[in-house]
Amino acid sequence: MLCQYETELTHMINDVKKFTKDGKVADYIPALATANQNTLAVAVFDGTDTCFSAGQSREKFTLQSISKVLTLALAIMDHGEEYVFSKVGMEPTGDPFNSIIKLESHAPSKPLNPMINAGALAVSHLIKGANSEEKIERLLHFIRMLSGNQTISYNLAVAKSEFETADLNRSLAYFMKQHGIIEGDIEVLLDFYTKQCAIETDCHDLARIGYVLANGGKSTLNNEEIVPMSVARIVKTFMVTCGMYNASGEFAMKVGIPAKSGVSGGIVGSVPNGMGIGIYGPALDDKGNSIAGMKLLEAMSSKYQLSIF
């Protein structure tokens, strides 16, 4: 696949790197504000090896919203599709990821989908475990299997920084508790959610995770099933319809690769039949997506016809 085009890919990255200047690093979580705006890194995994990488592809960053894809998969594996979607909807939204408006205007206060913060909180609440530590250990175990990297953990400083400033997410969670979507101690949920968002990977890990999803949930090491194929299909569908916040429609048109971004500037991409892509570019556009990362995916998709449509 793409791996034979090292030189072309390197040129593409050099071409789009200039867009990092037009974006802005997320600062509403104080610990994210120190990221280097000029960074643009990528890794591509073809099922056997990381066949292409560029930039600081070994630099670690936190998953932020990319974690929502993985908690959704784990929650469905924990409880089944029917129960999970009794708590969270399946419809995309044109509202920003942290909006509260539809919770109030849509009966019965069920969040629209698992990729917006309200929906992700409702899903995180479902992860099995006696306490927050047990839940995060289960999620880490799952992500270590997906990435093949046993050293993956969360960044406590980033988790703490978000926990201390997460008043909007708190209000979404309290609202849903009042309306019976979630139960229990909201501070415990916030503790888990902020740790989940602070799980650190590099581009190589993301590329491998993207590959497993592209590969119907099977491990890259021994073809063992890590995620049932039906669950991989569900999460990839959400990546297409809701993965790039309220720019998902435009992204589907211009790029057409199942992908999920996070406000750290990470993007995971799953190209059917054989490729995972991990991108890190912390300068974001006004919707919260890596500005140069989006340009890179657009260039790759158009050059190599990667769109699923």
**What would the x/- binding string for ligand GLU be over residues 275 to 304, using CB under 6 A?**
-------------x----------------
Of 40, 143, 186, 197, the one binding ligand GLU by CB under 6 A = 197
Residue 169 makes contact with ligand GLU by CB under 6 A: yes
119-136 burial: b if 16+ Cβ within 10 Å, else e? bbbbbbbbbeeeebeebb
Residue where the block lists tokens 């590969």: 215
User: Half-sphere exposure of 244 toward its Cβ, with a 13 Å CA cutoff?
Assistant: 26
Member of 148, 262, 269, 282 binding ligand GLU (CB under 6 A): 262
Is 186 or 306 the residue whose CB approaches ligand GLU more closely?
186
Among 64, 215, 220, 241, which residue interacts with ligand GLU (rule: CB under 6 A)? 64
The residue from 65, 124, 201, 241 that contacts ligand GLU (CB under 6 A) is 65
Around 145, how many Cα atoms within 13 Å sit in the side-chain half-sphere?
17
Closest separation in Å from C-beta 193 to ligand GLU? 7
List Cα–Cα distances, 189 to 96, 111, 127, 134, 176, in angstroms: 22, 16, 10, 12, 12
- What number of other Cβ atoms are within 10 A of residue 148's Cβ? 18
The catalytic residues are 65, 68, 193, 245, 263
Total number of residues that touch ligand GLU (CB under 6 A):
11
Between 63 and 226, CB nearer to ligand GLU: 63
- DSSP classification of residue 179: T
Contact 93, 116 (CB under 8 A): yes
List of residues contacting ligand GLU (CB under 6 A): 64-65, 97-98, 117, 162, 169, 197, 262-263, 288
